[in-house]
Amino acid sequence: MSETLGYASRTAPTAGDRYLALLAIVLLGYALMGKGFAYIGLPPLYVGEIACLVGILVFVRSGACIATFSTPPTLLLVALMAWVVVRTVPYLSDYAFDALRDSVIILYGVFAFIVIGLLLEDARRIDTALRYYGFFIAVLPVMSVGYLITKYWVDSIPSLYGPNIPLLDIPATAAGSHLAGAAVFVLIGYRRVSPLWIAIWLATFALVGATNRGSALAVFLPVTLAMLVQGRLRLMLTMLVAGLALLGAVYLAEANFSRYNEADDSNDRPVSAHQIVENIKSIFGQSGTQAQGTKEWRLEWWNVIIDDTFGGPHFWTGRGFGLNLAEADGYSGTPDPSNPRPLAPLRSPHNAHMTLLARAGVPGLVLWALVLVSWGGMMAKAIVVARTRGHRQWADLFLFIACYAAAIVINATFDVVLEGPMQGIWFWCLFGFGVGSVMVYRSEVAAEDESVQ
């Protein structure tokens, strides 16, 4: 889209350009290493916090501070962040770092403003960001290998920062989000890939689909939406029929030549057609003991939170940021009673919306919903306007951003995702990339209309 922006060429990179490169490296590190990369730094300043502080300085110098806060999504985000601060500060004395750690689910939204400021300062950075992401598409198989190692050989991964912090830790949720973004990026024609790349993508999706139901949905739904918006109905139906046929054939082969044994927990779920079918059944109804157990465990906890807020004493305020909700509600153990292996310590329910409801009350949940709806509405309107005007590249850009962010939100509905920097910072950068790109596009459309007149 650089040819539509009409900027003079630069002779040397600016501070904003250098920061955008730094941010791309940070996001790439999160995608390829996960938690291992997140712990680079000296507590409490890890790589994400360092990138945030540097980004704030760049944002202040960008000259786009006032314009950044001129859209409904950003104004609503400011209101939500202010409310989260109000519900965090009273608990700093009791919970200290835990209160700050819990609040980043929204306060990482600072990255959205930083990205918006970068794009408003120089719109050519949209193309630069897309080139950086194109490199990530090329190295996506590295993430797939990392996820494979995390799933099957996690005990062999060295721990440099502590016994519970392996150097490499890529969960199914992160893999699913990035698979969805990469697929849409390729579908809209922003990068060509080889048959080997496609095979690795499909194999990784099968692994994710067998391991995590929410992550499977986070891939399937955004990619399907992208195909529908692009009018790829034939391609979508062909892939769906082929996928179901392959799944059915493998399922029958497994039934005849092997025996399916239910996994003890989600980490041990095998990559098999039977397991994928069990996961699908658990989404729409009853399934095996293990899959159904984790589903009921979540629903029971969410009902406790709903009763405590909508029908309880914390309607307006929630319980604040810092309290360990798992311990307070009695859900700090394993979600599967039949599984004796303890999980990593929990702090929040496997649902970002429930987390905000529990910690920030109904006002926090309403503001969060308004942020998502206003942002989604902005992106949808931009797609329609761009397509109506024949600006296909812009429409594809907005579709890519919307589907990528939607994948993360879907994952955040079923797991702990936005609460950490690995996907939380990714989400808020996409949020800002969407708002900033739409603002740039609107200015280009206004200039185009004015020139016609």
pLDDT of residue 294: 65
Measured between alpha carbons, how far is residue 87 from residues 41, 49, 336, 357 in Å? 28, 21, 32, 12
Span 109-133, pLDDT tens digits: 999 999 999 999 999 999 999 999 9
What is this structure's pTM? 0.90
Is residue 274 within 8 Å of 253, Cβ to Cβ?
no
What's 137-202 look like in SS3? HHCHHHHHHHHHHHHHCHHHCCECCCCCCECCECCHHHHHHHHHHHHHHHHCCCCCCCHHHHHHHH
Instruction: Tell whether the model's pLDDT for residue 281 goes beyond 70.
Output: no
Span 40-90, pLDDT tens digits: 988 778 999 999 999 999 999 988 999 999 999 999 999 999 999 999 999
pLDDT of residue 451: 72
pLDDT of residue 148: 92
pLDDT of residue 423: 96
Q: Which residue has the higher pLDDT, 105 or 151?
A: 105
Q: Tokens representing 366?
A: 């309403």
Measured between alpha carbons, how far is residue 373 from residues 3, 74, 359 in Å? 32, 12, 21
Q: Which of 2-6, 224-228, 257-261, 278-282 has the highest mean pLDDT?
A: 224-228
pLDDT of residue 292: 52
- Under the banding of pLDDT at 50, 70 and 90, the label for residue 287 is very low
Q: For residue 44, how many C-alpha atoms fall within 13 Å in the half-sphere facing its CB?
A: 8
Instruction: Tell whether the model's pLDDT for residue 269 goes beyond 70.
Output: no
Instruction: Tell whether the model's pLDDT for residue 206 goes beyond 90.
Output: no
Q: Is 241 exposed, middle or buried (0-12, 13-18, 19+ CB in 10 A)?
A: exposed
State the chain's mean pLDDT as an integer: 87
Measured in whole angstroms, the distance separating CA 376 from the mean position of its chain's CA atoms is 15
Span 407-431, pLDDT tens digits: 999 999 999 999 999 999 999 999 9
pLDDT of residue 235: 76
**Assign residue 263 a region: left if phi > 0, alpha if psi is -120 to 50, beta otherwise?**
beta
pLDDT of residue 232: 82
**Which is nearest to 112 in space by CA: 64, 74, 70?**
74
179-196: b or e for each residue (b if 16 or more CB lie within 10 Å)? Answer: bbbbbbbbbbebbebeee
- Under the banding of pLDDT at 50, 70 and 90, the label for residue 213 is confident
pLDDT of residue 233: 79
Share of the chain above pLDDT 70, in %: 83
- Under the banding of pLDDT at 50, 70 and 90, the label for residue 240 is confident
pLDDT of residue 338: 41
β-partners of residue 41 are: 46
Span 300-339, pLDDT tens digits: 999 999 999 998 999 999 999 999 998 988 887 554 444 4
Helices 15-33 and 421-452 pack at an angle, to 10 degrees, of 140
pLDDT of residue 342: 40
Instruction: Tell whether the model's pLDDT for residue 283 goes beyond 50.
Output: yes
